Amino acid sequence: MAQAVSFESLEARLRDEACGVQADSRKITKGDIFVAVPGESEDGAVYIEAAVKAGAAYVVLNNEAYLQYADKLPDTVSFCVRDDIRASLSRLAGIRFHTAQHTLKILGITGTNGKTTATYLLEALLTSLGAKVGVLGTVSYRWPGFCEAAPLTTPDPLRIHSLLHDMEKAGCSWAVMEVSSHSIEQKRVADVPFSGVAFTNLTQDHLDFHTSMERYFAVKARLFTELPLAEKRMAINCDDQYGKRLLAMCPDALAYGFSEYEAGRRLTARILRQDTQGLRLAMRYGNSTWELASPLVGAFNAANLLTVQALALEMGIGISDLAALEHFPGVKGRLERIDGGGKHIFVDYAHTPDALVNVLSALRKAGFQKIITVFGCGGNRDRGKRPLMGEAVAKYSDWAVLTSDNPRNEDPMAIIEDVKPGLVNAANLHVEPDRKEATRFALDLATGPHDCVLIAGKGHEDYQIIQGVRHHYSDQEVVRELLGCA
Protein backbone atom coordinates (compact mmCIF):
# COMPACT_ATOMS: atom_id res chain seq x y z
CA MET A 1 0.00 0.00 0.00
CA ALA A 2 1.37 3.38 -0.99
CA GLN A 3 2.25 5.75 1.85
CA ALA A 4 0.95 9.28 2.29
CA VAL A 5 3.52 12.08 2.65
CA SER A 6 3.15 15.76 3.46
CA PHE A 7 3.46 18.46 0.85
CA GLU A 8 6.09 20.09 3.06
CA SER A 9 8.28 16.99 2.79
CA LEU A 10 8.10 17.19 -1.01
CA GLU A 11 9.07 20.85 -0.86
CA ALA A 12 12.06 19.92 1.32
CA ARG A 13 13.22 17.23 -1.13
CA LEU A 14 13.11 19.71 -3.99
CA ARG A 15 15.04 22.31 -1.98
CA ASP A 16 17.70 19.69 -1.33
CA GLU A 17 17.66 18.79 -5.06
CA ALA A 18 17.00 15.20 -4.08
CA CYS A 19 14.53 14.77 -6.95
CA GLY A 20 12.80 16.54 -9.82
CA VAL A 21 9.16 17.37 -10.56
CA GLN A 22 7.15 16.73 -13.72
CA ALA A 23 3.56 16.99 -14.95
CA ASP A 24 4.35 14.96 -18.09
CA SER A 25 4.80 11.24 -17.46
CA ARG A 26 7.07 11.00 -20.52
CA LYS A 27 9.64 13.23 -18.84
CA ILE A 28 9.80 11.33 -15.53
CA THR A 29 13.16 10.07 -14.30
CA LYS A 30 13.76 7.80 -11.34
CA GLY A 31 12.81 9.35 -8.00
CA ASP A 32 10.80 12.25 -9.47
CA ILE A 33 7.56 13.78 -8.23
CA PHE A 34 4.69 13.37 -10.70
CA VAL A 35 1.90 15.97 -10.45
CA ALA A 36 -1.36 14.69 -11.95
CA VAL A 37 -2.89 17.92 -13.26
CA PRO A 38 -6.58 17.84 -14.24
CA GLY A 39 -6.85 19.14 -17.81
CA GLU A 40 -9.66 20.64 -19.83
CA SER A 41 -9.60 17.80 -22.36
CA GLU A 42 -7.57 15.16 -20.53
CA ASP A 43 -6.92 14.35 -16.88
CA GLY A 44 -3.28 13.89 -15.90
CA ALA A 45 -4.38 11.20 -13.47
CA VAL A 46 -4.75 8.72 -16.34
CA TYR A 47 -0.95 8.84 -16.68
CA ILE A 48 -0.18 7.97 -13.06
CA GLU A 49 0.57 4.34 -13.91
CA ALA A 50 2.87 5.40 -16.77
CA ALA A 51 4.66 7.85 -14.46
CA VAL A 52 5.17 5.18 -11.80
CA LYS A 53 6.43 2.75 -14.41
CA ALA A 54 8.90 5.41 -15.59
CA GLY A 55 10.30 5.73 -12.06
CA ALA A 56 8.20 8.33 -10.23
CA ALA A 57 8.63 7.97 -6.48
CA TYR A 58 5.93 10.46 -5.49
CA VAL A 59 2.51 11.30 -6.92
CA VAL A 60 0.60 14.49 -6.18
CA LEU A 61 -3.09 14.16 -7.00
CA ASN A 62 -6.50 15.44 -5.97
CA ASN A 63 -8.96 13.50 -3.85
CA GLU A 64 -11.08 12.41 -6.82
CA ALA A 65 -8.04 10.92 -8.55
CA TYR A 66 -6.89 9.29 -5.30
CA LEU A 67 -10.22 7.51 -4.88
CA GLN A 68 -9.97 6.24 -8.44
CA TYR A 69 -6.30 5.28 -8.57
CA ALA A 70 -5.28 4.48 -4.95
CA ASP A 71 -5.31 0.74 -5.52
CA LYS A 72 -3.01 1.18 -8.52
CA LEU A 73 -0.26 2.90 -6.51
CA PRO A 74 2.40 0.33 -5.51
CA ASP A 75 4.01 0.39 -2.08
CA THR A 76 7.20 1.72 -3.67
CA VAL A 77 5.41 5.04 -4.32
CA SER A 78 4.33 7.75 -1.88
CA PHE A 79 1.41 10.08 -2.56
CA CYS A 80 0.17 13.49 -1.49
CA VAL A 81 -3.47 14.53 -1.87
CA ARG A 82 -4.02 18.24 -2.61
CA ASP A 83 -7.16 20.29 -3.22
CA ASP A 84 -5.59 22.63 -5.78
CA ILE A 85 -3.29 20.67 -8.06
CA ARG A 86 -2.44 23.56 -10.36
CA ALA A 87 -1.37 25.78 -7.47
CA SER A 88 0.64 22.87 -6.07
CA LEU A 89 2.49 22.42 -9.35
CA SER A 90 3.30 26.14 -9.50
CA ARG A 91 4.60 26.02 -5.94
CA LEU A 92 6.79 22.99 -6.61
CA ALA A 93 8.08 24.48 -9.88
CA GLY A 94 9.18 27.65 -8.09
CA ILE A 95 11.00 25.63 -5.45
CA ARG A 96 12.59 23.27 -8.00
CA PHE A 97 14.18 26.19 -9.87
CA HIS A 98 14.87 28.38 -6.80
CA THR A 99 12.93 31.28 -8.30
CA ALA A 100 12.40 33.07 -4.99
CA GLN A 101 16.18 33.30 -4.53
CA HIS A 102 16.80 34.92 -7.92
CA THR A 103 17.93 38.54 -8.19
CA LEU A 104 16.06 38.74 -11.51
CA LYS A 105 13.46 41.53 -11.55
CA ILE A 106 10.32 40.19 -13.24
CA LEU A 107 7.81 42.49 -14.95
CA GLY A 108 4.37 41.29 -16.07
CA ILE A 109 2.10 42.92 -18.66
CA THR A 110 -1.55 41.89 -18.83
CA GLY A 111 -4.60 43.13 -20.71
CA THR A 112 -6.49 42.22 -23.86
CA ASN A 113 -4.42 44.34 -26.26
CA GLY A 114 -0.93 45.82 -26.23
CA LYS A 115 0.93 43.15 -24.25
CA THR A 116 3.35 42.15 -26.99
CA THR A 117 4.27 45.67 -28.08
CA ALA A 118 4.69 46.73 -24.45
CA THR A 119 7.09 43.86 -23.74
CA TYR A 120 9.15 44.69 -26.83
CA LEU A 121 9.28 48.36 -25.80
CA LEU A 122 10.38 47.42 -22.28
CA GLU A 123 13.02 45.09 -23.67
CA ALA A 124 14.39 47.88 -25.89
CA LEU A 125 14.34 50.42 -23.06
CA LEU A 126 16.07 48.20 -20.50
CA THR A 127 18.62 47.03 -23.07
CA SER A 128 19.45 50.66 -23.87
CA LEU A 129 20.35 51.08 -20.20
CA GLY A 130 22.91 48.29 -20.46
CA ALA A 131 20.78 45.55 -18.93
CA LYS A 132 20.53 41.99 -20.17
CA VAL A 133 16.82 41.24 -20.65
CA GLY A 134 14.77 38.07 -21.05
CA VAL A 135 11.28 38.02 -22.60
CA LEU A 136 8.44 35.49 -22.42
CA GLY A 137 5.61 36.34 -24.78
CA THR A 138 3.36 35.58 -27.71
CA VAL A 139 6.10 35.70 -30.33
CA SER A 140 9.05 34.02 -28.60
CA TYR A 141 10.92 33.18 -25.41
CA ARG A 142 14.29 34.87 -25.68
CA TRP A 143 17.32 36.54 -24.17
CA PRO A 144 20.78 37.33 -25.61
CA GLY A 145 22.11 34.07 -27.02
CA PHE A 146 18.79 32.20 -26.88
CA CYS A 147 15.50 32.35 -28.81
CA GLU A 148 12.70 29.87 -29.45
CA ALA A 149 9.23 30.30 -30.94
CA ALA A 150 6.50 30.52 -28.31
CA PRO A 151 3.75 27.86 -28.49
CA LEU A 152 1.86 29.71 -25.71
CA THR A 153 1.86 33.37 -24.66
CA THR A 154 2.52 32.24 -21.08
CA PRO A 155 3.89 28.68 -20.78
CA ASP A 156 3.22 26.05 -18.11
CA PRO A 157 4.68 26.55 -14.60
CA LEU A 158 7.64 24.21 -15.00
CA ARG A 159 8.60 25.86 -18.27
CA ILE A 160 8.16 29.36 -16.85
CA HIS A 161 10.39 28.70 -13.87
CA SER A 162 13.00 26.80 -15.87
CA LEU A 163 13.19 29.68 -18.37
CA LEU A 164 13.50 32.25 -15.58
CA HIS A 165 16.23 30.09 -14.04
CA ASP A 166 18.08 29.95 -17.37
CA MET A 167 17.74 33.74 -17.78
CA GLU A 168 19.32 34.23 -14.37
CA LYS A 169 22.17 31.86 -15.24
CA ALA A 170 22.70 33.72 -18.53
CA GLY A 171 23.22 36.96 -16.60
CA CYS A 172 19.86 38.63 -17.20
CA SER A 173 18.87 41.23 -14.63
CA TRP A 174 15.32 41.73 -15.96
CA ALA A 175 12.61 39.39 -17.25
CA VAL A 176 9.56 40.78 -19.06
CA MET A 177 6.47 38.58 -19.40
CA GLU A 178 3.16 38.75 -21.18
CA VAL A 179 0.66 37.38 -18.68
CA SER A 180 -2.43 35.87 -20.29
CA SER A 181 -5.75 35.48 -18.49
CA HIS A 182 -5.59 31.72 -19.09
CA SER A 183 -2.26 31.55 -17.26
CA ILE A 184 -3.68 33.39 -14.24
CA GLU A 185 -6.82 31.25 -14.11
CA GLN A 186 -4.80 28.04 -14.48
CA LYS A 187 -2.29 29.09 -11.77
CA ARG A 188 0.66 29.00 -14.18
CA VAL A 189 2.05 32.24 -12.70
CA ALA A 190 0.86 31.66 -9.13
CA ASP A 191 4.43 31.53 -7.76
CA VAL A 192 6.16 33.99 -10.08
CA PRO A 193 7.54 36.78 -7.84
CA PHE A 194 6.67 39.78 -10.00
CA SER A 195 8.50 42.99 -9.13
CA GLY A 196 6.14 45.07 -11.24
CA VAL A 197 2.96 44.60 -13.27
CA ALA A 198 0.97 46.71 -15.73
CA PHE A 199 -2.65 46.60 -16.92
CA THR A 200 -3.24 47.81 -20.50
CA ASN A 201 -7.00 47.41 -21.09
CA LEU A 202 -9.83 44.90 -21.14
CA THR A 203 -12.10 44.33 -24.13
CA GLN A 204 -14.13 41.36 -25.33
CA ASP A 205 -12.01 38.29 -25.95
CA HIS A 206 -11.68 34.74 -24.60
CA LEU A 207 -15.33 34.61 -23.46
CA ASP A 208 -15.41 31.03 -24.70
CA PHE A 209 -13.11 30.37 -21.72
CA HIS A 210 -14.19 32.96 -19.13
CA THR A 211 -17.92 33.05 -20.13
CA SER A 212 -18.43 36.72 -19.11
CA MET A 213 -16.57 40.03 -18.99
CA GLU A 214 -16.96 40.09 -15.21
CA ARG A 215 -15.19 36.77 -14.83
CA TYR A 216 -12.57 37.85 -17.36
CA PHE A 217 -11.89 41.01 -15.35
CA ALA A 218 -11.84 39.12 -12.03
CA VAL A 219 -9.12 36.83 -13.38
CA LYS A 220 -6.99 39.72 -14.66
CA ALA A 221 -7.37 41.56 -11.33
CA ARG A 222 -5.82 38.63 -9.47
CA LEU A 223 -2.41 39.46 -10.94
CA PHE A 224 -2.60 42.72 -8.98
CA THR A 225 -4.50 41.75 -5.85
CA GLU A 226 -3.40 38.18 -5.09
CA LEU A 227 -0.18 37.08 -6.70
CA PRO A 228 3.25 37.59 -5.08
CA LEU A 229 5.14 39.73 -4.40
CA ALA A 230 2.88 41.74 -2.13
CA GLU A 231 5.08 44.83 -2.51
CA LYS A 232 5.21 44.72 -6.33
CA ARG A 233 4.87 48.01 -8.22
CA MET A 234 1.74 48.51 -10.36
CA ALA A 235 0.81 50.70 -13.35
CA ILE A 236 -2.83 50.74 -14.48
CA ASN A 237 -4.53 52.39 -17.46
CA CYS A 238 -7.09 54.87 -16.10
CA ASP A 239 -8.58 55.48 -19.57
CA ASP A 240 -10.04 51.96 -19.50
CA GLN A 241 -13.30 51.36 -17.62
CA TYR A 242 -11.95 48.18 -16.07
CA GLY A 243 -8.68 49.94 -15.32
CA LYS A 244 -10.61 52.47 -13.22
CA ARG A 245 -12.19 49.61 -11.27
CA LEU A 246 -8.80 48.00 -10.77
CA LEU A 247 -7.34 51.29 -9.52
CA ALA A 248 -10.05 51.42 -6.88
CA MET A 249 -8.87 47.99 -5.73
CA CYS A 250 -5.17 49.01 -5.88
CA PRO A 251 -4.95 52.58 -4.52
CA ASP A 252 -1.13 52.49 -4.40
CA ALA A 253 -0.83 51.87 -8.16
CA LEU A 254 0.32 54.52 -10.62
CA ALA A 255 -2.59 55.57 -12.86
CA TYR A 256 -1.66 56.47 -16.43
CA GLY A 257 -3.68 57.75 -19.35
CA PHE A 258 -4.66 60.56 -21.66
CA SER A 259 -7.58 61.69 -19.49
CA GLU A 260 -7.39 63.28 -16.07
CA TYR A 261 -7.67 60.91 -13.13
CA GLU A 262 -8.05 62.62 -9.79
CA ALA A 263 -7.32 59.82 -7.32
CA GLY A 264 -3.77 58.82 -6.31
CA ARG A 265 -0.61 59.21 -8.36
CA ARG A 266 -0.85 59.62 -12.13
CA LEU A 267 1.10 59.92 -15.35
CA THR A 268 -0.85 61.98 -17.87
CA ALA A 269 -0.11 62.43 -21.58
CA ARG A 270 -1.30 64.30 -24.68
CA ILE A 271 -0.86 63.35 -28.31
CA LEU A 272 0.77 66.32 -30.00
CA ARG A 273 1.02 64.68 -33.44
CA GLN A 274 -0.07 61.46 -35.14
CA ASP A 275 0.36 60.84 -38.86
CA THR A 276 1.87 58.35 -41.30
CA GLN A 277 5.32 59.18 -39.88
CA GLY A 278 4.45 58.31 -36.29
CA LEU A 279 3.68 60.05 -33.00
CA ARG A 280 4.76 62.84 -30.72
CA LEU A 281 3.61 62.77 -27.08
CA ALA A 282 3.78 65.19 -24.16
CA MET A 283 3.89 63.70 -20.63
CA ARG A 284 3.35 65.08 -17.15
CA TYR A 285 4.31 63.20 -13.96
CA GLY A 286 4.23 65.16 -10.72
CA ASN A 287 6.17 68.35 -11.39
CA SER A 288 8.02 66.91 -14.40
CA THR A 289 7.10 67.32 -18.07
CA TRP A 290 8.75 65.90 -21.20
CA GLU A 291 8.07 64.99 -24.82
CA LEU A 292 8.68 61.82 -26.80
CA ALA A 293 8.67 61.17 -30.56
CA SER A 294 8.13 57.68 -32.01
CA PRO A 295 7.90 56.11 -35.48
CA LEU A 296 5.01 53.95 -34.20
CA VAL A 297 1.63 54.78 -35.78
CA GLY A 298 -1.69 55.33 -34.03
CA ALA A 299 -3.26 56.27 -30.72
CA PHE A 300 -3.14 52.68 -29.47
CA ASN A 301 0.65 52.77 -29.83
CA ALA A 302 0.63 56.02 -27.89
CA ALA A 303 -1.10 54.05 -25.13
CA ASN A 304 1.56 51.31 -25.39
CA LEU A 305 4.30 53.92 -25.03
CA LEU A 306 2.54 55.32 -21.99
CA THR A 307 2.15 51.85 -20.41
CA VAL A 308 5.89 51.27 -20.66
CA GLN A 309 6.81 54.71 -19.35
CA ALA A 310 4.48 54.27 -16.37
CA LEU A 311 5.89 50.88 -15.38
CA ALA A 312 9.46 52.07 -15.99
CA LEU A 313 8.94 55.06 -13.69
CA GLU A 314 7.46 52.74 -11.06
CA MET A 315 10.60 50.58 -11.28
CA GLY A 316 12.88 53.56 -10.66
CA ILE A 317 13.98 54.31 -14.21
CA GLY A 318 14.70 57.99 -14.77
CA ILE A 319 12.67 60.29 -17.04
CA SER A 320 15.75 61.12 -19.12
CA ASP A 321 16.25 57.41 -19.85
CA LEU A 322 12.82 57.18 -21.50
CA ALA A 323 14.15 58.96 -24.59
CA ALA A 324 15.52 55.58 -25.72
CA LEU A 325 11.95 54.66 -26.69
CA GLU A 326 12.19 57.09 -29.59
CA HIS A 327 14.44 54.66 -31.47
CA PHE A 328 12.15 51.61 -31.25
CA PRO A 329 11.07 50.72 -34.83
CA GLY A 330 8.10 48.45 -34.05
CA VAL A 331 7.14 44.79 -33.61
CA LYS A 332 6.65 42.18 -36.32
CA GLY A 333 2.94 41.79 -37.01
CA ARG A 334 1.94 44.84 -34.98
CA LEU A 335 0.91 47.41 -37.60
CA GLU A 336 3.95 46.20 -39.51
CA ARG A 337 4.49 48.06 -42.76
CA ILE A 338 5.28 45.76 -45.71
CA ASP A 339 7.27 47.17 -48.63
CA GLY A 340 4.71 46.97 -51.42
CA GLY A 341 6.38 48.74 -54.31
CA GLY A 342 4.58 51.99 -53.60
CA LYS A 343 1.46 50.46 -52.04
CA HIS A 344 0.73 51.09 -48.35
CA ILE A 345 0.30 47.63 -46.78
CA PHE A 346 0.15 46.77 -43.09
CA VAL A 347 -0.02 43.44 -41.27
CA ASP A 348 -1.46 43.48 -37.78
CA TYR A 349 -2.38 40.92 -35.11
CA ALA A 350 -5.75 42.61 -34.39
CA HIS A 351 -8.20 39.78 -33.73
CA THR A 352 -10.68 41.40 -31.33
CA PRO A 353 -13.31 44.09 -32.01
CA ASP A 354 -11.47 46.67 -29.93
CA ALA A 355 -8.10 45.93 -31.52
CA LEU A 356 -9.63 46.35 -34.98
CA VAL A 357 -11.21 49.67 -33.98
CA ASN A 358 -7.86 50.86 -32.62
CA VAL A 359 -5.78 49.94 -35.64
CA LEU A 360 -8.31 51.07 -38.25
CA SER A 361 -9.00 54.40 -36.57
CA ALA A 362 -5.23 54.91 -36.31
CA LEU A 363 -4.85 54.41 -40.06
CA ARG A 364 -7.74 56.77 -40.75
CA LYS A 365 -6.29 59.45 -38.49
CA ALA A 366 -2.91 58.98 -40.14
CA GLY A 367 -4.42 60.32 -43.35
CA PHE A 368 -5.28 57.28 -45.47
CA GLN A 369 -8.36 57.98 -47.60
CA LYS A 370 -9.29 54.44 -48.73
CA ILE A 371 -8.81 51.58 -46.27
CA ILE A 372 -9.18 47.99 -47.47
CA THR A 373 -9.33 45.46 -44.62
CA VAL A 374 -8.71 41.73 -44.99
CA PHE A 375 -9.88 39.87 -41.89
CA GLY A 376 -11.53 36.75 -40.51
CA CYS A 377 -12.32 35.13 -37.17
CA GLY A 378 -10.67 32.14 -35.56
CA GLY A 379 -12.50 28.85 -35.30
CA ASN A 380 -13.36 27.14 -32.01
CA ARG A 381 -13.16 30.48 -30.20
CA ASP A 382 -15.57 33.09 -28.82
CA ARG A 383 -18.41 33.24 -31.39
CA GLY A 384 -19.91 36.31 -29.73
CA LYS A 385 -17.15 38.59 -30.96
CA ARG A 386 -17.54 37.63 -34.63
CA PRO A 387 -20.32 40.09 -35.62
CA LEU A 388 -18.65 42.73 -33.44
CA MET A 389 -15.46 42.36 -35.46
CA GLY A 390 -17.53 42.77 -38.59
CA GLU A 391 -19.06 45.98 -37.19
CA ALA A 392 -15.61 47.39 -36.43
CA VAL A 393 -14.38 46.69 -39.95
CA ALA A 394 -17.57 48.06 -41.53
CA LYS A 395 -17.35 51.29 -39.55
CA TYR A 396 -13.75 52.17 -40.36
CA SER A 397 -13.10 50.54 -43.76
CA ASP A 398 -14.01 51.45 -47.32
CA TRP A 399 -13.74 47.79 -48.29
CA ALA A 400 -14.28 44.78 -46.03
CA VAL A 401 -12.66 41.62 -47.41
CA LEU A 402 -13.93 38.74 -45.29
CA THR A 403 -11.84 35.57 -45.30
CA SER A 404 -10.50 32.75 -43.11
CA ASP A 405 -8.24 33.13 -40.07
CA ASN A 406 -7.35 29.82 -38.44
CA PRO A 407 -10.72 28.04 -38.85
CA ARG A 408 -9.28 25.15 -36.84
CA ASN A 409 -12.01 22.46 -36.74
CA GLU A 410 -14.88 24.68 -37.87
CA ASP A 411 -16.29 25.13 -41.36
CA PRO A 412 -14.80 28.41 -42.68
CA MET A 413 -18.10 29.36 -44.31
CA ALA A 414 -19.97 28.86 -41.04
CA ILE A 415 -17.56 31.30 -39.36
CA ILE A 416 -18.06 33.77 -42.19
CA GLU A 417 -21.85 33.55 -41.77
CA ASP A 418 -21.39 34.40 -38.06
CA VAL A 419 -19.46 37.55 -39.04
CA LYS A 420 -21.82 38.77 -41.77
CA PRO A 421 -24.51 40.30 -39.52
CA GLY A 422 -21.92 42.82 -38.35
CA LEU A 423 -21.17 43.83 -41.94
CA VAL A 424 -24.66 44.95 -43.01
CA ASN A 425 -23.48 48.57 -43.09
CA ALA A 426 -20.21 47.92 -44.88
CA ALA A 427 -19.60 50.32 -47.76
CA ASN A 428 -18.24 47.46 -49.87
CA LEU A 429 -17.99 43.76 -49.04
CA HIS A 430 -16.13 40.92 -50.72
CA VAL A 431 -16.21 37.36 -49.32
CA GLU A 432 -13.38 34.97 -50.18
CA PRO A 433 -12.62 32.08 -47.77
CA ASP A 434 -9.19 31.47 -49.35
CA ARG A 435 -6.96 33.93 -47.48
CA LYS A 436 -4.36 34.20 -50.24
CA GLU A 437 -7.00 34.97 -52.86
CA ALA A 438 -8.64 37.47 -50.49
CA THR A 439 -5.27 39.20 -50.11
CA ARG A 440 -4.79 39.26 -53.89
CA PHE A 441 -8.21 40.92 -54.29
CA ALA A 442 -7.40 43.55 -51.65
CA LEU A 443 -4.02 44.41 -53.17
CA ASP A 444 -5.65 44.88 -56.58
CA LEU A 445 -8.08 47.39 -55.04
CA ALA A 446 -5.25 49.59 -53.71
CA THR A 447 -4.50 51.83 -56.69
CA GLY A 448 -4.21 55.34 -55.24
CA PRO A 449 -1.40 57.06 -53.31
CA HIS A 450 -3.64 57.46 -50.24
CA ASP A 451 -5.02 53.89 -50.27
CA CYS A 452 -3.91 51.30 -47.74
CA VAL A 453 -4.47 47.60 -47.16
CA LEU A 454 -4.71 46.21 -43.63
CA ILE A 455 -4.35 42.44 -43.32
CA ALA A 456 -5.57 41.70 -39.81
CA GLY A 457 -5.68 38.77 -37.45
CA LYS A 458 -2.48 36.78 -37.82
CA GLY A 459 0.30 39.30 -37.30
CA HIS A 460 3.51 37.40 -36.56
CA GLU A 461 1.90 33.96 -36.95
CA ASP A 462 3.13 31.84 -39.84
CA TYR A 463 0.45 29.14 -39.97
CA GLN A 464 -3.20 28.38 -40.60
CA ILE A 465 -5.00 25.51 -38.84
CA ILE A 466 -7.60 23.98 -41.15
CA GLN A 467 -9.58 20.94 -40.01
CA GLY A 468 -7.06 20.46 -37.24
CA VAL A 469 -4.08 20.37 -39.63
CA ARG A 470 -1.40 23.05 -39.34
CA HIS A 471 -0.31 24.59 -42.65
CA HIS A 472 2.48 27.11 -43.17
CA TYR A 473 1.00 30.53 -43.99
CA SER A 474 2.51 33.98 -43.50
CA ASP A 475 0.65 37.15 -44.46
CA GLN A 476 3.99 38.90 -44.98
CA GLU A 477 5.30 36.19 -47.30
CA VAL A 478 2.04 36.05 -49.27
CA VAL A 479 2.02 39.82 -49.83
CA ARG A 480 5.62 39.79 -51.07
CA GLU A 481 4.91 36.82 -53.35
CA LEU A 482 1.79 38.44 -54.84
CA LEU A 483 3.63 41.70 -55.48
CA GLY A 484 6.71 39.97 -56.87
CA CYS A 485 8.84 41.19 -53.95
CA ALA A 486 9.55 37.75 -52.46
Angstrom CA distances, 84 to 36, 94, 253, 476, stand at: 11, 16, 30, 44
The helix (run of H) or strand (run of E) holding residue 224 is helix 213-225
Q: Helix axis angle, 7-15 relative to 85-96, nearest 10°?
A: 20
The whole-angstrom separation of Cα 468 and Cα 409 is 5
Q: Which residues pair with 269 in a beta bridge?
A: 283
One-letter amino acid identity for 28?
I
One-letter amino acid identity for 103?
T
The helix (run of H) or strand (run of E) holding residue 346 is strand 343-348
Task: Work out the burial of residue 128: count CB atoms within 10 Å of its CB; fewer than 13 is exposed, 13-18 middle, 19 or more buried.
Answer: middle
Question: Any residues with CB less than 8 A from the CB of 126 and at least 6 apart, and which?
Answer: 133, 174, 176
Question: Any residues with CB less than 8 A from the CB of 118 and at least 6 apart, and which?
Answer: 109, 198, 200, 304, 307, 308
Domains of the chain: 3-95 (3.40.1390.10), 98-327 (3.40.1190.10), 336-482 (3.90.190.20)
pLDDT (0 to 100) of residue 438:
98
**pLDDT tens across the length of the chain (486 residues):** 689 999 999 999 999 999 999 999 999 999 999 999 997 778 899 999 999 999 999 999 999 999 998 888 999 999 999 999 999 999 999 999 999 999 999 999 999 889 999 999 999 999 999 999 999 998 899 999 999 999 888 899 999 999 999 999 999 999 999 999 889 999 999 999 999 999 999 986 655 565 688 999 999 999 999 876 668 999 999 999 999 999 999 999 999 999 876 666 899 999 999 887 789 999 999 999 999 999 898 888 999 999 999 999 999 999 999 999 999 988 889 888 898 778 999 999 999 898 899 899 989 988 899 999 999 999 998 899 999 999 999 999 999 999 999 999 999 999 999 999 999 999 999 999 999 999 999 999 999 999 999 999 999 899 999 998 999 999 999 999 999 886
Global confidence as pTM: 0.83
